[in-house]
Structures are given as structure tokens and as C-alpha cells.
Amino acid sequence: MQSLIKTCALPIVLLSLTACGGGGGSDNPTPTSTPISSSLAASSVVAVSSAEAASSSIAPASSSSSSSSAAITESTQTPVNYTNYSVATIDNCGQGIAKGDKTFSLFADYDGGVQNQSLSSLSFSGWNHSNNENKNRPEWALLKVSTHATYDFATSAKVNDSCNGVDTINMVLVKKINDWDMQHANGFERNILALAYEFGDIENLVFDVKINSAKTSIPSVASLKTTYASYVNDATIDALEDGKVNIGITLGDATNQNGAIIFQLDQTTLSDQWVRVTIPMNKLSFYQEINYNRTTKTLAELSNVLINRILVVGETKSGAVLRGNINPWTTSVPETFKEMDLSFKKIEFQLK
């Protein structure tokens, strides 16, 4: 049985979530919610083809070597490389895993820790607009699961039988397709300011993640074109969305200087299996956002800036919604959602 290595417990700092109104606030128009043509220019996401299968198996840098040929240890298959990240299927999930050199684990379960560890003690927090003071808004009635607590962020990790009993963070991440108000219906973050990591300290971001098919519900591109035929053309839908799982990651400081990326996984080939997503730090998009206006930055400019938090949300392919392309837009435009049931067993910085 694997368990979560305990890291330094920090006070939870409730932070302002610029793009998603975390902690119960409302979203406002942001550059990721402007007309799609402008948001795509800065997008860090690339489409993942359905050819996810990889043949040969290699041990990851963080896997422990074994002197016994009978020992079973976690390993990854040869990664499939995309423009801004790579994706590798994990074999022997959760077996014989140990922390690698020059890493910091924001969340990970290695041998010898505590089961079902409190996430709040690790300075994780989350929000769910469909089950807080905004729960009576009519659009939430369109979610697939009528019990809206299903979309909550749990305060504790949970033992996961699909990966040798390691602890995982589990959440059905929800992203609106139409309206930018509360477009990230839920999400989670960790405050890491006291750990004093700077943008320039990090070589790669690593996420071990599994798409759970049970509660994943993503509208097809064809269905979106039918739903919004009276509002936008097909090209607008194609630019917005691919009908795949998209996960948005943002590293931010206290002055809204950020590094962000959206990575994409094809649920038709990757559902119910563990994969490792490795993102080089220099592939993120860097910017400062003030009053919803973004100024482009470089990694070099942010190199000595302290990272305040890491934020995880569900996304569209482009990070945009349709509202900026519908003129005039009214509340009568139908809402649709992407619902992505995900488990995370590792969120890690690989350090330089």
C-alpha cells in the first residue's frame, strides 16, 4: 500500500482566481474568453491525436531501480511527444515508487507515508460554483449529475484501487462552453509561496493523471455545431473545441504574473488508464494580467519571481468560450458543459 509523503503544512491562503472566480466569486471576461481568433494566438495547447499507443517500455527518471529481476516497479512506456508536452502510459502503477532527485512534489504518494492525507494540511483548496452561494443559478441544472456535491473539491486524498492503493486527488472538472461568467465551474489550487520556488527554478512540470470514464461527459464537435448553429459558424466551433479532455495549468505570483498551459488528452484512447504528462517549463505562455488585459512576458523576465500558487481547471481546447463571438449575446443562448472526471496521483516540479 502506497501513501502520501507529507510535505510542509502551510496555512491556506484564499487567492483571487482571475480567470475562474475561485472560492465562490464570479468570472469576468478575460482574454481567454474574448473572440477565439485572438485567444488562439497565445494558446499553448496542441491537439493530441488518437495515436496514443506506444510500444517499448522505459523506466522514468523517478522510478527506483531494482537489483532483482522479480521486483515489479512502476515505469512508463515511450512517451508520445507533442509540441509543448509529452504523454506516456504508466505501467505497474503505484508499485515500488520513490521520489526522484531534484524534484518537489506538490502532491505525490510514495512508499511509507500516510493514507487519505488531509489536502488542506498541504495548503490545497478548491471551489464549486454549482454547490455554493451560486447553486440556484439555472445553468447548473444542466449538469449531468443532479447531486452537485459530486463536483466538489474533497478535503482529503483518497486511496485509489486502480493504482496499487496510492492516494489521489479526484475531481470532476467542469468548463462552460458558452458563457464566461463562472466559466470554470470548479477547480483546485495549492498555495506554495512559503516554499520560495521561483519560475526559473523549474525544468519540467509533471502530472500523473487518469481520465475516469464513469463521469466524463464531453459534447462532440458535431453536437456543438448543431446547438450553436444560430449563433456562430462551424469554423468558430472548430477553433474553440476538439471534444477532448483539456486541463488548464497556471503558475502565478502575487501580482498576476503567470505561466500557463493547456494540455489535451484523448479520452477515446486514454480513459481509465494512468498517463504521465511532462511539460517543459519553457513551453508555458508567460504574461501579466491587469484588469483582464494581458501583457506578454518571457520566462527570463519571470525567472526570479516567486511562485505563489498552482491552479488546475478544466478547459476548452483554446481556453475560450463562445460568448465573445456571439453579438448580441443574451442569457437565452443555451449553455453546455465539458465534464472531465480526473484522478491525479502526482503533481510535481522537476527542478534544475
pLDDT digits (tens, 9 = 90+) for 206-235: 999 999 999 999 999 999 999 999 999 999
Which has the minimum average pLDDT: 30-34, 75-79, 151-155, 293-297?
Answer: 30-34
- Whether residue 8 has pLDDT greater than 90: no
Tell me: cis bond preceding 328? Omega within 30 of 0 counts.
yes
Which has the minimum average pLDDT: 67-81, 95-109, 279-293?
Answer: 67-81
- Whether residue 105 has pLDDT greater than 90: yes
In angstroms, the CA 76 to CA 57 distance is 6
Provide the residue ranges of all domains of the chain, joining segments of one domain with +: 3-351
Percentage of residues in the chain having pLDDT higher than 70: 79
Q: What is the mean pLDDT of residues 270-277?
A: 98
pTM assigned to the model: 0.82
CA dihedral over 308, 311, 316, 322, signed as positive or negative? negative
The average confidence (pLDDT) of the chain is: 84
In angstroms, the CA 288 to CA 31 distance is 12
- Whether residue 42 has pLDDT greater than 50: no
pLDDT band at 44 (very low <50, low <70, confident <90, very high): very low
pLDDT of residue 68: 45
In angstroms, the CA 147 to CA 223 distance is 25
Cβ pair 307, 197 in contact under 8 A: yes
In angstroms, the CA 258 to CA 131 distance is 28
Q: What is the pLDDT of residues 55-97, one digit of tens each?
A: 333 334 444 444 444 688 999 999 999 999 999 999 999 999 8
Q: How many CB atoms lie within 10 A of CB 335?
A: 19
Q: Phi/psi zone of residue 130: left (φ > 0), alpha (ψ -120 to 50 degrees), beta?
A: alpha
- Whether residue 15 has pLDDT greater than 60: no
Beta bridge partners of 289: 294
Top-confidence residue, 286 or 112: 286
3-state helix/strand/coil string of the chain = CCEECCCCCCCCCCCCCCCCCHHHCCCCCCHHHCCHHHHHCCCCCCCCCCCCCCCCEECCCCECCCCCCCCCCCEEECCEECCCCEEEEEECCCCCECCCCCEEEEEEEECCCECCCECHHHCEEEEEHHHCCCCCCHHHHHCCCCCHHHHCCCCECEEEHHHCCEEEEEEEEEEECCCCCCCECEEEEEECHHHCCEHHHEEEEEEEEEECHHHCECCCHHHHHHHCCCCCCHHHHHHHCCCCEEEEEEEECCCCEEEEEEEEECHHHHECCEEEEEEEHHHCEEEEEECCEEEEECHHHHCCCECCEEEEEECCCCCCCCHHHCCCCCCCCCCCEEEEEEEEEEEEEEEC
Percentage of residues in the chain having pLDDT higher than 90: 75
Cβ pair 206, 41 in contact under 8 A: no
